Amino acid sequence: MPVAPFRTVFTLFLTAFYCAFANADLVDLPRTDGEIIVDGHLDEDVWGDAAGIELVYETKPGENIPARVKTVAFLIEDGINLYVGFAASDPDPSAIRAYLRDRDTAYDDDYVGIIIDTYNDGRRGVEFLSTPLGVQMDVTIDEARRGDFGKEDDSWDAIWDSAGQINADGYTVEMKIPLTQLRFPAGEGLKTWGFDLYRSYPREKKFQSSNNAKERGNNCYLCQIGELSGLKDVEPGRDLEVVPTLTASQSDSAEEPGIDPLVSGGTEVEAGLSVRWGITPDLTANLAINPDFSQVEADASQLDVNNRFELFFPEKRPFFLEGADYFTTPITAVFTRTIASPDVGVKLTGKRGDHTFGVLFAEDALTNLLFPGAFESDSTTLEQSNSVLIGRYSRGFGETSSIGGVLTVRDGDGYHNYVGGFDARWKINDQHTLSAQYLESETEYPVDTAMEFEQPNGAFDGKATMASYEFDSRNWFGNAGYSKQSEGFRVDSGFKSRVGDELLYVNGGRVWHGDDGSWWSTISLVAEYDNGHLEDGTFREEDKVLRFGIEGPMQSEAHVAFRARSELENGVLFDIERVGFFAEMTPRRGLTLMIGGRFGDEIDYDNTRLGFQKVLEPSVNWNINRNLLLRVQSIFASLDTQEGEKIFDAAVIDARITWQFNVRSFLRMTLQQSKTSKNPDVYIDPVDAESQDIGRQLLYSYKINPQTVFFLGYSDQYLDDDNLNGLTVSDRSLFMKIGYAWNL
Give the whole-angstrom CA distance, residue 738 versus residue 210. 40
Cα distances (Å, whole numbers) of residue 493 to 368, 450, 580: 9, 18, 34
- Give CA–CA dist 609/598, Å, rounded: 19
Q: Which of 451, 315, 441, 332 is nearest to 380 (CA)?
A: 451
| Model pLDDT, residue 294 | 59
| pLDDT for the residue numbered 8 | 43
8 A C-beta contact, residue 598 and residue 580: yes
Q: What is the mean pLDDT of residues 197-226?
A: 93
Whether residue 604 is predicted with pLDDT greater than 60 in this model: the reply is yes
Which position has the higher pLDDT, 660 or 124?
A: 660
Residue 97 near residue 107, CB atoms below 8 Å: no
pLDDT for 639: 97
Give the model confidence (pLDDT) of 375-384 as tens digits: 999 999 999 9
According to DSSP, the β-strands at 522-534 and 539-552 are antiparallel
User: Long-range contacts of range 541-546, CB-CB < 8 Å, 24 or more positions apart?
Assistant: 541/565, 541/566, 541/567, 541/568, 542/566
pLDDT at position 118: 92
Least reliable range by pLDDT among 4-18, 145-159, 385-399, 572-586: 4-18
pLDDT confidence of residue 444: 97
Pairing of strands 26-28, 226-230: parallel
3-state secondary structure of 136: strand
B/e letters for 59-70, b = 16+ CB within 10 Å, e = fewer, are bbbbbbeebebb
Q: How many CA atoms lie within 13 A of 671 on its CB side?
A: 6
- Global pTM? 0.88
**Cis peptide upstream of residue 61 (ω within 30 degrees of 0):** yes
| Distance, CA of 299 to CA of 698 (rounded, Å) | 14
Q: Measuring CA to CA, which residue among 704, 737, 699, 711 is closest to residue 298?
A: 699
| Of the listed ranges 35-44, 393-402, 651-660, the one predicted with least confidence | 393-402
Rounded to 5 degrees, φ, ψ at 319 are: -60, -45
Question: Quick one: pLDDT at residue 20?
Answer: 38
Tell whether the model's pLDDT for residue 15 goes beyond 90.
no
Indicate the DSSP class of residue 281.
T
Q: In this model, does residue 10 exceed pLDDT 70?
A: no
Gyration radius (Cα) of the chain, Å: 27
Specify which residues 418 forms β-bridges with: 409, 442
Amino acid identity of residue 319, one-letter, is F
- The string of pLDDT tens digits covering residues 229-281 is 999 888 766 678 899 999 999 989 888 887 888 888 888 888 989 998 888 77
- With cut-offs at 50, 70 and 90, classify the pLDDT of residue 1: very low
> pLDDT, tens digit, for every residue of 425-455?
999 998 999 999 999 999 999 999 999 999 9
Query: For residues 403 and 221, what is the distance between their CA atoms, to the nearest angstrom?
Result: 20
Closest by CA position to 51, among listed 15, 75, 82: 75
The mean predicted confidence, pLDDT, of the chain is 91
Residue 657 has pLDDT above 60, yes or no: yes
Q: Which residues have C-beta within 8 Å of that of residue 291, sequence separation ≥ 6?
A: 245, 272, 273, 274, 319, 342, 344, 345
| CA–CA separation, 485 and 333 (whole Å) | 13
> SS3 string of 291-311?
CCCCCCCCCCCCCCCCCCCCC
Round to whole Å and give the CA distance between 610 and 495: 29
Whether 284 and 276 have beta carbons less than 8 Å apart is answered as yes
Could you tell me the CA-to-CA distances from 109 to 127, 206, 207, 523, 586 in Å, in that order? Answer: 16, 10, 12, 24, 12
Say which residues have a Cβ less than 8 Å from residue 42's Cβ, sequence separation at least 6.
Answer: 7, 10, 11, 14, 74, 85, 87, 172, 174
Q: What is the pLDDT of residue 190?
A: 92
Q: What pLDDT, on the 0 to 100 scale, is given for residue 12? A: 41
Q: In whole angstroms, give the CA distance from residue 128 to residue 371.
A: 40
Residues near 621 by beta carbon (within 8 Å), at least 6 away in sequence: 108, 591, 592, 629, 630, 631
What counts of helices (H) and strands (E) characterise the chain? 3, 42
List the end-to-end C-alpha distance of the chain, in Å, as a whole number: 42
For residue 238, the model assigns a pLDDT of 63
Sign of the dihedral through C-alpha 173, 125, 329, 147: positive
The per-residue pLDDT for 9 is 43
Q: What is the pLDDT at residue 146?
A: 58
pLDDT band at 23 (very low <50, low <70, confident <90, very high): very low
Band of residue 18 on the pLDDT scale cut at 50, 70, 90:
very low
Q: pLDDT band for position 704 (50/70/90)?
A: very high
Band of pLDDT at residue 534, cut at 50, 70 and 90: very high
Q: Of 72 and 518, which is predicted with more confidence?
A: 72
For residues 103 and 706, the answer to whether their CB atoms sit within 8 Å is: yes
CA distance 28 to 169: 28
DSSP 464-492: EEEEEEEEE-SSEEEEEEEEEE-TT---T
Segment 534-562 mean pLDDT? 96
Q: 3-class SS at 222? A: helix
Q: What are phi and psi of 327, to 5 degrees?
A: -110, 10
- What confidence tens digit (pLDDT) does each residue in 323-350 have? 888 898 999 999 998 998 889 999 999 8
- pLDDT band at residue 212 using 50, 70 and 90 as cut-offs: very high
Tens digits of per-residue pLDDT, 72-120?
Answer: 999 999 999 999 999 999 999 999 999 999 999 999 999 999 999 999 9
Other beta carbons within 10 Å of 398: 12
Percent of the chain, pLDDT > 90? 75
**Which residue from 409, 355, 67 is spatially nearest to 208, judged by alpha carbons?**
67
Residue 35: strand, helix, or coil: coil
What's the pLDDT tens digit per position in 291-322?
665 567 767 777 778 888 888 878 878 788 88
Please state which of the ranges 521-530, 608-617, 667-676, 723-732 shows the lowest mean pLDDT: 723-732
Q: What angle do CA 94, 95, 99 make, to 5 degrees?
A: 90
Positive or negative CA dihedral for 633, 703, 98, 559? negative
Q: Looking at the domain 3-230, which fold is it?
A: Immunoglobulin-like (2.60.40)
Residue 21 scores a pLDDT above 60? no
What confidence tens digit (pLDDT) does each residue in 717-730 have?
A: 999 988 888 899 99
> Which pLDDT score, from 0 to 100, does residue 51 have?
96
* CA 611 to mean position of chain CA atoms: 34
Contact (Cβ atoms closer than 8 angstroms) between residue 649 and residue 638: yes
- Measured over the CA atoms of residue 15, residue 21, residue 26 and residue 28, the dihedral's sign is negative
**Burial level of 489, CB count in 10 A (0-12/13-18/19+)?**
buried
Phi/psi of residue 531, each to 5°?
-140, 125
Mean pLDDT within 169-195:
91
